[in-house]
Each structure stands twice: as structure tokens, then as C-alpha cells.
Amino acid sequence: QLQASGGGLVQPGGSLRLSCAASGFSFDNYAIGWFRQAPGTGREGVSCIGSSVGRKFYSASVKGRFTVSRENAEDTVYLQMNSLKPEDTATYYCARFFGSNPIASSWATPSLYDSWGQGTLVTVSS
């Protein structure tokens, strides 16, 4: 089970940190991804962190602004979002990748994730 939290309303240029708390499985053995979905659009891969240290992926639209991290002792993945833009407005979901370490060509494919959290809404607006 995955539970995302930390969303809210923030002004452009502001920051938020999302959390994804996991339970019920061996967290250390799985990569965890972040996706987002704005109204009327498909689900977009934002970032992913593998079970191995250093294996991280970002979409081009967030690279340099968002940072993904994990704390295995807490079974939690974080997404630090800085320099937020109105186009970052969406519901953000965390999900469990079917394996431990995705590759660059696969991490953003929603069908390769087998468990999803309920989503947390991020609104970037002045």
C-alpha cells in the first residue's frame, strides 16, 4: 500500500515536498515512481528512484527543479519540488515499479507499476 501526502496550494516559484509512505511489502526491493495527472490529460511520469543508491530518473519538464529521495528506514520516498510553475498543477501519485531498478526507457511507463497511491493535489497559482 502506498499513501501520498504533502500537496497543497503554492505560489509560482514556491516549493513543496511530497511524501509517499509505503506499507505491506519489502520497500527496499522496489523502485518507486512519481506520476502526475492534470485535468483532461494523461498520466505523466515525473520521477523515479530505484532501490539502488543513485538510480534516479526525471522527466525533462522537472529536471533541475525536482529532487527525488528515499529513506528506507522509514519506508518513505520524497519528492522535493522547487521553482514551481503553474504548469506543475496536477494530482501527484506515487507508485511501485514491478522491479527494483528500471532503465531509462521504462521508468515512465505507467503499466509497469503495479501498486498506486491515492494521489495528492498540487496547485500552483498566485
**pLDDT tens-digit profile of 30-49?**
999 999 999 899 999 999 99
The whole-angstrom separation of Cα 126 and Cα 11 is: 5
Cell (9 digits) for 30 = 522496489
| Mean pLDDT in residue range 114-122 | 95
pLDDT at 54: 66
Q: How would residue 103 be classed by pLDDT, with cut points 50, 70 and 90?
A: confident
Cell (9 digits) for 125 = 497559482
Residues comprising the chain, all counted: 126
Torsions phi, psi of 41, nearest 5?
A: -125, 170
Q: Which residue has the higher pLDDT, 31 or 53?
A: 31
